[in-house]
Chain A
């Protein structure tokens, strides 16, 4: 099993082969399509990330010390971005997620292509995923 650093390095490496912005976006859209189906029932207001122009839903599950995320968006580019975050962060422990370094987003060049308002969506997703980690940590991992 890889860790967050390895998974994010791998994604950054995949992106580095594209010079053309269009290829990059096509790749983001493709990654989005690889997300497992997200049932409509989970597209509830409580799973909705605010601060996005498009709608993004993210859910999380805790199993044996690891967190697994799922998500969806009505916009394909946003869905791709959500999918990247999910791939990188799923399977990590709450502590790893709380402390993780998200600089791979800059290495992919995602942030430079997202204006501040759009980046709010990205930041909103990251913030929500970290909040899940904090909640699971306090629920399942007694602090000694």
Chain B
């Protein structure tokens, strides 16, 4: 049974606050979601009762901390249906997860090999590859998109060759809301023995993630975009790849023995976790997972889908508006432009009306260039958003239009 919206909203203290003298309408969930009280309490509880370093001490608190931390790994493993806890690497976010693969995986490659990423990627799934390619003499190829914001699978097939060593692709575009056909891409890639990295930053809070079913080789996401804390992320990687890949950073935790004659590295997953992690935030991530599972991820998706369809229909009715991205089979991210009104101007006034939305290039400049624009306005929904909030937003948008007309 799906809980009532009010029961969901009441778990988010921040939704009661006002901004600029208006009730907060938070439509910037693509950037980060708000946190339920369970997550907030888990963080503070940790520092009040459990704080101590993990994997090190023999003392009581350290053991308790380590158990809680490793339990979080287990909840993540179950949440995304990974085969083993060894496949769950904690990082500080999607960005670090991708950088880890970009640095470590590419060290296995030869000069002249190539990597493919798509036109609709967030800079986090472009720049790490550019850096790695530059350092190692690899080529970065671009999978193109169609004008309605879908991946061009034919073009993708045409740029794959026997030197292609990895395909990096967003599960869901943070600008267009496009849901990419990961299983199809993985099938195409695997038939050429190419691994696939999925940037799941925008999907993990909205779709049920099953890495076994997707069969992707890597899956990266951030806790803060799924009701969890900032500074915590996950890299899922198939064990066969993680075993082959060298460490990404050196330091404590990731070693077995250190000597100046040579250092041996720890086993998975610790090999990739150098230094003291964000223990409190990681433990709070299991609370975030619990929050999502209590509502049911399918229920969250269904409600967001209704909100998205409602908003899309009303925005279309409004006229003088350009909407980006596909009409169907899309996520709850809506990018749009009001004709003749700069997104910065509209965003500034909407902010004064209490509405938090995003304006700008959304860290996706190659995509902006494709559409020949400098930016968009973007609203993106989460489990606690409502039709009433969308109505208030639409009214406010009308006012903004009047001001600039």
Q: Do A and B bind each other?
A: yes
Pair B342/A75 contact, Cβ less than 8 Å:
yes
What mask results when residues 358 to 395 of chain B are scored 1 for a CB within 8 Å of chain A, else 0?
01100000000000001100000000000000000000
Q: Mark B268-280, 1 if CB is under 8 A from A, else 0.
A: 0000000000000
A residues near B344, Cβ cutoff 8 Å: 53-54, 75, 77-78, 118
CB interface residues, A 7-44, toward B, < 8 Å: 21-22, 25-26, 29
**Residues of A close to B20: CB separation below 8 A:** 21
B352 engages A76 (CB within 8 Å)? no
Total residue contacts A-B, CB cutoff 8 A: 40
Contact B374 A76 (CB under 8 A): no
State A22–B359 Cα separation when bound (angstroms): 20
Whether A25 touches B342, Cβ cut-off 8 Å, given contacts A53-B360, A55-B374, A74-B374, is no
A22: chain B residues at CB < 8 Å are: 349, 352, 403
Which residue of B348, B359, B374 contacts A25 across the interface (Cβ within 8 Å)? Answer: B348
- State A29–B348 Cα separation when bound (angstroms): 12
B374 touches A77 (CB 8 A): no
Q: Do B352 and A118 touch (CB < 8 A)? A: no
Contacts of A77 in B (CB 8 A): 344-345, 348
> B404 near A: Cβ within 8 Å?
yes
Using Cβ atoms and an 8 Å threshold, which residues of chain A touch B404? 29, 76
Contact of B345 among A21, A76, A113 (CB under 8 A): A76
Given A75-B344, A75-B345, A118-B348, are A53 and B403 also a contact pair (CB < 8 Å)? no
Greatest chain A CB density within 10 A among B342, B343, B375, B403 is at B342
Q: What CA separation (Å) do A74 and B346 show in the bound complex?
A: 13
The answer to whether A53 touches B359, judged by C-beta atoms less than 8 angstroms apart, is: yes
The proximity string for B residues 91-120 relative to A, scoring 1 for CB distances below 8 Å and 0 otherwise, is 000000000000000000000000000000
CA distance A53 to B342 in the complex (A): 10
Whose C-beta in chain B lies nearest to the C-beta of A117? B360
Complex interface residues of chain B between 326 and 360 (CB less than 8 A to chain A): 342-345, 348-349, 352, 359-360
| Minimum C-beta distance from B399 to chain A (A) | 9
Query: Chain B contact residues: over half helix, strand or loop, or mixed?
Result: helix
- Shortest A45–chain B CB gap in Å is 13
Given the interface pairs A22-B403, A76-B404, the reply to whether A53 lies near B375 with Cβ below 8 Å is yes
* Residues of B contacting A113 in the complex (Cβ-Cβ under 8 angstroms): 348, 352
Q: Using CB atoms, name the residue of chain A closest to B361.
A: A53
Query: Given the complex of chains A and B, what is the CA–CA distance between A29 and B341 in angstroms?
Result: 12
Q: How far is B345's CA from A21's CA once the two chains are assembled, in angstroms?
A: 14
Partner of A54, one of B342, B349, B403: B342
Nearest Cβ on chain A to B398's Cβ, whole angstroms: 14
Which residues of the other chain, B, contact A26 by a CB distance below 8 angstroms?
Answer: 403
Q: How far is the CB of B130 from chain A (nearest CB, A)?
A: 20
Report the minimum CB–CB distance from B391 to chain A (whole Å). 20
- What's the minimum C-beta distance from A138 to chain B, rounded to whole angstroms? 34
Query: Residues 68-85 of chain A: 1 if any B CB is under 8 Å from the residue's CB, otherwise 0?
Result: 000000111110000000
Known: A75-B344, A76-B342, A78-B344. A25 touches B360 (CB 8 A): no
Least CB distance, A36 to chain B, in whole angstroms: 20
Shortest C-beta distance, B361 to chain A (Å), equals 8
Complex CA distance for A55 and B375, rounded to whole angstroms: 11
Output the nearest chain B residue to A121 by Cβ-Cβ distance.
B344
Query: Which of A74, A75, A113 has most chain B Cβ within 10 Å?
Result: A75
Q: Across the interface, which residues of B come within 8 angstroms of A25, CB to CB? A: 348-349, 352, 403
Nearest A-chain residue to B21, judged by Cβ: A21
A26: nearest chain-B partner, CB-CB: B403
Query: Does B374 contact A21, Cβ atoms closer than 8 Å?
Result: no
Could you show 25 A-B contacts with beta carbons less than 8 Å apart? A22-B349, A22-B352, A22-B403, A25-B348, A25-B349, A25-B352, A25-B403, A26-B403, A53-B359, A53-B375, A54-B374, A74-B342, A74-B374, A75-B342, A75-B345, A76-B342, A76-B404, A77-B344, A77-B345, A78-B344, A78-B345, A113-B348, A113-B352, A118-B344, A118-B348
User: What is the interface of chain B, defined by CB distance below 8 A to chain A?
Assistant: 20, 342-345, 348-349, 352, 359-360, 374-375, 403-404
- Given A55-B374, A74-B374, A118-B348, 15 other A-B contacts at CB below 8 A? A22-B403, A25-B352, A29-B404, A53-B344, A53-B359, A53-B375, A54-B345, A54-B374, A74-B342, A75-B345, A76-B342, A76-B404, A77-B344, A77-B348, A113-B352
